[in-house]
Structure 1
Amino acid sequence: MIRKAMVAALVVGSVLAGTGVADAEASRIPKNFLLSEKEARAPRDEADSIEYWWKISDKLSNRPLLAPCRGARTVRDGRVAMRTITHLTSAPSSDGEQLVLYRSAKAARAAFLGLRAEVKRCPGKDLRLIARTVRIGDEGMFVGRYDYDKGKRDREPVHSWAVGRRGAALFVYSADQAYTTNPGKLVTGRAKRMAKKVCELRNVCR
């Protein structure tokens, strides 16, 4: 009886251990997985270091790159891994990239819908957010922050974001008008690339 119990315990332990490893692998974003990550991690000389700056963070508590209502964010929304890369230059200009993995596609969709609702709830005043649906992965949107002068909206956005969801992954790309002449095209293109790339991660697009 004792021997049978020991064997059973070993079997159960092996199964649980295997599950734990699988879960850990599924909730990890590999190094250099994000589109701009290799460039962000590359060594820079002193001259470059005073012209542009990169920051890479894996904190789950980071705000989304698009946070219209600017309220406190909670990490209890099912997220299991997150990487945020921000890029600032002396111009000044900025762009950014963010990937968030959730425990399920349902949790990721809830996060996407919550963000879309925020854009409607907190559009801003003089600089106003306007969103439109775009085809990125399972669902996506483009958001532009536009300047208004005497009630008339500028043709091009001051800042642009593309938000996409594919399975259990949510990703955000941002860029301002000073960074590139067509930030909308840039961020949307990057988001579409990530919509394909995230399926390389285990359990994201199942």
Structure 2
Amino acid sequence: MIKQALAVALVIGSVLAGTGVARASTAEIPKGFLLTERAASAGPIMEGEEWWEISNSLSRQLALNPCRTKKKPHDGRVAMRTISYSNSAPSGSAEQLVLYGNTKSAQAAFRKLRADLTKCAKQATGQRIRFLRHASKPLRVGDEALSVTGYFYNKGKRERDPGEMRVVVRRGTALFIYADIGNGPGAGKKLTAQAKKMAKKVCDLPRVCR
């Protein structure tokens, strides 16, 4: 009886330990963790003039999608939060944090983005005379980072101000993107500042920077 009781205790202990490990290894983005989350949770200041959206869906496309891929992603992500802002100007911005199961998956996701920027540098806009072209340059943020600027071309002539700006950073197992649409060239400094802040903050999450 004693041996049986000990055997049962060992089995139960193993199961509980396994459950604990599984829970501990589950990636999670704490509520309120993203930089724009407080403002997004508070909602619009001007009803009917601006809109916020918070999503934890793993199936969303990355906030930088040069090839406009629609296929549901299967790239090893385990947690994700996207915050989008838009207004009637029209202009908008986005903040997105993606956690991957390991560093290798995060590196692969960043590498694919870089390849897509080359493959799909020129995007159609639905107007024959107008298209969008992306250009990128490396940034010294996190483990690897890119600053991406998209300019509209009308009849082959580039418009003065950028139509889209993004900063993409990988730090450990995390990939995060800050995006701005339609707010002019000055938005670039803000995006870089946000990315630098998140590059430090994301290391507070378990197993991200190890």
State whether TM-score is above 0.5: yes
- Bigger shift: residues 100-109 or 5-14: 5-14
Query: Are the aligned partners of 2:163 and 2:184 in contact in 1 as well (CA < 8 Å)?
Result: no
Report SS of the residue matched to 2:108.
Answer: helix
After superposition, the CA RMSD in angstroms is 1.7
- Bigger shift: residues 152-161 or 95-104: 152-161
Taking a change above 3 Å as real, the CA distance of residues 134 and 183 of structure 1, as seen in their structure-2 partners, is same
Q: Which amino acid in 2 is paired with 1:121?
A: K
Q: How far 1:181 moved relative to its partner?
A: 4.9
Q: How far 1:149 moved relative to its partner?
A: 5.2
Asked if 1:105 is matched to 2:103, the reply is yes
What's the TM-score once normalised by structure 1's chain length? 0.91
Structure 1 gap segments, 5+ residues each: none
Query: Are the aligned partners of 2:65 and 2:113 in contact in 1 as well (CA < 8 Å)?
Result: yes
Per the alignment, residue 140 of structure 2 pairs with 135
Q: How far 1:195 moved relative to its partner?
A: 0.8
Query: Are the aligned partners of 2:60 and 2:72 in contact in 1 as well (CA < 8 Å)?
Result: no
1:14 to 7, 13, 16: 16
Per the alignment, residue 168 of structure 1 pairs with 173
Per the alignment, residue 5 of structure 1 pairs with 7
| Structure 1 stretches of 4+ moved >6 Å | none
Q: Which amino acid in 2 is paired with 1:38?
A: R
Deviations 1:58-111 (A, max 9, x none): 110001111010122433211000101110011111100000000011111100
Per the alignment, residue 197 of structure 2 pairs with 193
Query: Are the aligned partners of 1:29 and 1:82 in contact in 2 as well (CA < 8 Å)?
Result: yes
Query: Are the aligned partners of 2:161 and 2:185 in contact in 1 as well (CA < 8 Å)?
Result: no
Identity of aligned residues (%): 44
Taking a change above 3 Å as real, the CA distance of residues 123 and 23 of structure 1, as seen in their structure-2 partners, is same
Q: How does 1:4-153 map onto structure 2 within 5 Å?
A: 4-24=6-26, 27-44=27-44, 48-124=46-122, 126-148=131-153, 151=156, 153=158
Structure 2 gap segments, 5+ residues each: 124-130
Per the alignment, residue 127 of structure 2 pairs with none
Report SS of the residue matched to 1:131.
Answer: strand
Asked if 1:202 is matched to 2:202, the reply is no
Q: How many residues are paired up?
A: 201
Cα distance in 2 between the residues matched to 1:73 and 1:115: 15
